[in-house]
Structure formats: C-alpha cells, structure tokens
Structure 1
Amino acid sequence: MCRRVRSNNQLDRFSRPDVQVSCLHGKVKRTTQIENNCYDPRFLFRSKMPYYYNEGFAFTVLDVDRVNGNEVIGRCFVDPKTAEMVMKEKTPLLLSLGDGIGVLKVQLEKSDGSTTEKSLHEL
C-alpha cells in the first residue's frame, strides 16, 4: 500500500532558498531579481556594464534571507582572457559553483554601440 504524503506549504516556504545572483566587474556590481523558494532557479537577466579589459567577472550566488542575513551558496570567476575569448566567439560559459552545488550558465557580449575599453588603472 502506497500512502501519499502532502507537503506542508508553510514549511516549504521556509525550507527552500531564495536565490539571487550578483556579478562584480571592476567596481560595478549588478544583481538579478530574487527567485523565491526554489532549488533550480532560472534567470533571464541582461545588464550593461562598463568593460575593463584587465578585470575579470566574479559571480556570487546568494540565499537571500532578510532575518538572518544572506548566505553564499557558491562563487565562480571568469578571468579577463577567458572573458575576451567568450565575447569574440559569442558562446556561453558553464561555470561550476562548487562540488555538488550546481552550474551557472553565463554569456558575455560586447555592446554594438560605442564603448570605451579601459583599465581601472587608467581611470
């Protein structure tokens, strides 16, 4: 005999993470919206940032918690040479967030408009 167990929605609301991704490039930081109560969030996020050719991109995945403070779920980094190569080839990157945690799919593109590529040291 198979007995079906119903999940308690009240408990589920507090047991799954509220996930947010932040990207840091140079001194500029961009964050996604918060995906509430899920283990497999999917973001379709696009943002314009000034491009610094000698700086990498640092991604941090957070469990957002207003009561106890945010907790880091995973981190990954794209070095400047890899970022330049990915922008030229226009291919997505699959970045590991840690052993058994998950993967972050990222696509970096240069803007079609006029941009200035600068080093942070030149500013």
Structure 2
Amino acid sequence: MSVVSRYFLAVIAVFLLTGAAGYADASENDDWNAIEEESWTLKYKVQNDKLFVECVLPSFSLQPQNKGGDGYLAVEVNRTRAAEMNKAAFVMKGLPSEKYEISVTPVSYEEEFEENSITFTAGEKEK
C-alpha cells in the first residue's frame, strides 16, 4: 500500500471516528425535542454550537437519486438554504450562539412526494 493510500485511509478513519464520537456524546443525555408532522417526525438537540437532528420518514428513502433514493432533506437556517442532506440523522456545526430558526423539508426528486416542512427555533435558549 502506498504512502498516499495510507494517509488517505488515516484521514478518513479520523473523520469517521470524530463524527461518530460527537454523535455519541449527544445521545448520552435525553434532552431531545420532538416534532411530529402528519407523516414524519423530527427530533433535535442543541449542544454548544452543534445541532443534532434525527428524522423518521417511513415511506421516503433519503438516498442519492443515482442510488434509487426518493429525495433529500432541504435544511434552512434563518430562511437561507444551508444544506441538502441524504441522511436521516445529521449534525450541523458552527451555528450562531444567538437564537436561530431551522426549517427541514423533504424534497422529492420526482415531485410526487409532498410533505410539510418542520420549522423550529433553537440556539441560546436551548443550551
């Protein structure tokens, strides 16, 4: 195995371990907030400058379109598009210390799936 390959694998391992450790820290205490929409649920938790989010969409696959997925989650922070997520659980880092509004919307690749957005306020008050 070449030096470049070893370095690349080491960087990936550190990235995966660091991300997993951060999520494990959030799971340790149960200060999760839950919001239920008609056919899907969102749980979130704020810890320092991180926002942990878990979504349950029973009939909607969050995979890339080329892998047969139904769509993605559009995430907005203070009404500005911040991310498009293909995972039901994710962490957003570096959020402002003051209160902010988060909106998560399932978006279909085929325009056949319509779900309401879930919007909530987090930040200073939540810490």
For Structure 1 versus Structure 2, the TM-score category normalised by the shorter chain is: 0.3 to 0.5
Of the two, which has the highest radius of gyration?
1
User: Higher helix proportion, which one?
Assistant: 2
User: Higher strand proportion, which one?
Assistant: 2
- Could you tell me the TM-score, scaled by structure 2's length? 0.35
